[in-house]
Structure formats: C-alpha cells, structure tokens
C-alpha cells in the first residue's frame, strides 16, 4: 500500500445514537473516533454517553449498549467537551457522514459551540468507486474489500476503526486503478460529489491532473 500523500491528521468518527433524528430529540449514546496520520491510526477516543433518558429495547439490541451501561456513563456535556479537544481543527471522515454530522452539530449546539464542519464521506466515495456493490453499508463494503473484521459492528469505536480501514483501502484503489499521485482531502470530498454515471471518466481526468499538480493541503475542520 502506498502512503497517503498528506501528513496532516484526519479524524474518522462514528456515533451510536438513541434514534435517527437529532431534531426530534435523539441523542448520542456512544462516541468512537480515530486519529489518522500517513495511513496509520495513531490515537483513539471512545466513550459511552448518558443521554439523560432511557433508550429503546431496539437500540439496546442493535448496539449492545444497555440502559444499565448508560446509567453509569458520563453526561453528554462532559464527554463532548473532551471530544471537542480531541477533534481539534482536523478534517473529519465518517461512513454516511450526513448522519454523523447532524448529530455532531446537534451535540455542539447543546454545548454552545456551534460551528461549520469539514466532512468527507466513505459511503459517497464508495458509491462512485465501487458501482457494482449490492449496498453501501459499512459491513458490506468491509467484506467486499476483504478487510479483516476484528470487532463488533454497531459499536462506535469499532465502526470508526473499520471506516478508517475502508478510507485507507479507497486511497489504495484510487492510486492503483487510476494512477493518482497525490490525493488530498479536498479531492476525496470532490469524488464523493461526482456524478455517479460519469465518475469513471472524471476520476481518470482527476488522476491525470494529480500527476502534474503540486500536493495541496487537507484543509481543516472548520470553514
């Protein structure tokens, strides 16, 4: 695997939540995140989060996170304060990033720290790069790319780690299949927004451009 061209760190994160809609009062119950540098996981963040109310039996079944576990977890304001420090100003990645972004924005609102966020999405990039996959769930893509599974899906840190491994594999495939020399965070975001029907031709063009352009920067978390 060729090294990622950037040395600036990136954070891959995942939330387990009480439901799907923060606007309707759903909250984060677990945070998992990994800090990446040069295609290596160099740091981790994990914590259960007490949402202040009981979660449904369905959520307990899906995640394995019980109300008994959450009753002993620290409150959201405490955990989010620590998590904001871990995030620093790094760019962020998630699988189905719109979901995690909506919850991060909502929890930052509760903390009184609302701000714009800079997200990349492994799901959207995979839709352009792997058009024949049956679905784009994280578990499906992990198995499709033969990435070893050593953890339980639907736990935040495990999902964040597996999304990071998928991010690495996407970078490897972009280099080997299209001849990319330099892959920036902004390029990864751009790929995720490409017209799916034109993605192959657009990726060939981007790869050609990358072989002549200078290495850029990843950008940062805010702005």
Instruction: Give the residue numbers annotated as catalytic, written as ranges.
Output: 154
Are 66 and 99 spatial neighbours (Cβ–Cβ below 8 Å)?
no
Are 148 and 136 spatial neighbours (Cβ–Cβ below 8 Å)?
no
Q: Minimal CA–CA distance to 10: which of 170, 194, 192, 168?
A: 168
Per DSSP, the three-state class of 120 is strand
* C-alpha torsion 195→205→93→119, nearest 10: -60
Give, as one character, the DSSP assignment of residue 3.
P
Question: How far apart are the C-alpha atoms of 29 and 59, rounded to whole Å?
Answer: 10
Q: Residue 85 contacts by C-beta under 8 Å, 6 or more apart in sequence?
A: none
- Return phi, psi of residue 29, to 5°: -115, -10
Question: How far apart are the C-alpha atoms of 21 and 24, rounded to whole Å?
Answer: 5
Are 3 and 20 spatial neighbours (Cβ–Cβ below 8 Å)?
no
**Start-to-end Cα distance in the chain:** 31
């Amino acid at each position: 695997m060729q090294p990622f061209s950037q040395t600036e760190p990136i954070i891959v994160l995942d939330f387990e939540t009480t439901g799907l809609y923060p606007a309707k009062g759903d909250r984060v119950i677990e945070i998992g995140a990994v800090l990446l540098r040069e295609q290596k996981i160099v740091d981790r963040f994990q914590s259960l989060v007490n949402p202040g109310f009981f979660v449904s039996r369905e959520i307990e079944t899906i995640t394995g996170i019980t109300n008994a576990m959450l009753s002993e977890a620290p409150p959201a304001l405490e955990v989010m304060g620590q998590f904001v420090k871990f995030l620093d100003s790094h760019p962020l990645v998630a699988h189905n990033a719109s979901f995690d972004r909506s919850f991060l924005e909502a929890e930052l609102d509760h903390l009184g720290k609302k701000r714009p966020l800079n997200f990349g999405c492994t799901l959207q990039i995979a839709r352009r790069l792997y058009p024949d996959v049956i679905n784009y769930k994280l578990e499906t893509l992990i198995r499709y790319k033969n990435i070893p599974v050593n953890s339980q899906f639907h736990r935040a840190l495990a999902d964040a780690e597996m999304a990071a491994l998928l991010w690495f594999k996407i970078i490897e495939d972009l280099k080997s299949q299209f001849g990319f020399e330099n892959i920036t965070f902004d390029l990864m975001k751009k790929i995720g927004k490409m017209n799916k029907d034109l993605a192959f031709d657009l990726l060939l063009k981007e790869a050609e451009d990358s072989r002549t352009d200078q290495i850029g920067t990843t950008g940062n978390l805010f702005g």
